[in-house]
Amino acid sequence: MKVYRNLPAIKSREQRGRRIALGGLAILFVGLLASFTPNWFPPDEPAANALTGFIQRYWTVVSFGALAVGFIASNVGSYYINRFAPRRWPGSKKVARPDELVENGLKGFDDKYALFLWGLDEVPYILVGPSGVRVFLVRSDKGTVTVYGDRWRERFSLGRLLTFLNREGLGNPTREIEETERKVRELLQEGESSGELAVNAADIPIESAAVFINPAMQLELENPSMPVLRVDQLKKYVRTKKEQQLNAGDVRAVTDYLLSVSALA
């Protein structure tokens, strides 16, 4: 399997997350220091300068403001880190990024397949092969998700409440995948119209699946309207579609076109 990974973008977003998280911790520390103002600069004592006077007057605003801003920044940073940084996953000794887990879940396919990882921002995980184009909606949170048809529900927990800002969140996978498939179809049609894609876009099958990569995620499924998989089921899912919709030339044409419009070009 050919793998096209936009590693600079992944690393950049990981670094961005670490910087935001570190900045959030620094802001929280400022808020902690401000809370000691009444001990350091008693309000009944004259201020030594304008700065200490400002701190004496507004220390509560600084303290609580820093608490709010620091908390938000730390969680936003953690959101990026969870999506782009290597980490140890429950029940595994392996340290890996989410994109590496998806790649590992598809290992074993030959060069007829091409996996794009964050090459297309609006379609982070896309696989091209003889059976067409596969779009994967990847989630890395833990918890319990229940799927009834096209209805998705994530079970409430205290941990989910405390980490709501740094989680990817379940969202509405059905709607998200429909939107992603539409974007992929439009992208292929643009390629056909411009002559960059020498394949009839309407003849390229597009299928999607929601993929949960965290072993700690519990899935309760009842007639889901789309495939809902664990990452270790990914290879079997792809292999079950044995019918060849695209010949080797078409697969190569679609792969080359997606590569040309990706950030990897």
For 45-100, how does the pLDDT look when each residue is reduced to its tens digit (9 = 90+)?
666 667 677 777 777 888 889 999 998 898 889 889 989 999 999 888 889 999 99
Could you give the CA distance from residue 179 to residue 175 in angstroms, rounded to a whole number?
Answer: 6
Q: Say yes or no to pLDDT of 250 above 90.
A: yes
Q: Is 131 helix (H, G, I), strand (E, B) or coil?
A: coil
- How far apart CA 251 and CA 78 sit, in angstroms, is 38
Question: Which candidate, 165, 167, 166, 142, places its Cα nearest to that of 155?
Answer: 142
**pLDDT value at residue 159:** 58
51 — phi, psi (to 5°)?
-65, -50
Query: Crossing angle, helix 248-261 and helix 173-194, to 10 degrees?
Result: 100
The predicted structure's pLDDT at residue 164: 57
pLDDT on residue 97: 95
d(C-alpha 107, C-alpha 9), whole Å: 23
pLDDT band with cut points at 50, 70 and 90 for residue 147: very high
Dump the DSSP string for 16-76: HHHHHHHHHHHHHHHHHHHHTHHHHS-TTSPPSSHHHHHHHHHHHHHHHHHHHHHHHHHHH
Q: What is the pLDDT of residue 158?
A: 59
User: What are the structure tokens assigned to 138, written together?
Assistant: 């990847």
The pLDDT tens digits for 197-220 are: 989 999 999 999 999 999 988 999
CA angle, corner 229, sides to 226 and 232, nearest 5? 155
**pLDDT for position 94:** 82
The pLDDT of residue 155 is above 60:
yes
Residue showing tokens 């998705």? 152
The average confidence (pLDDT) of the chain is 87
9, burial (CB in 10 Å: exposed 0-12, middle 13-18, buried 19+)? middle
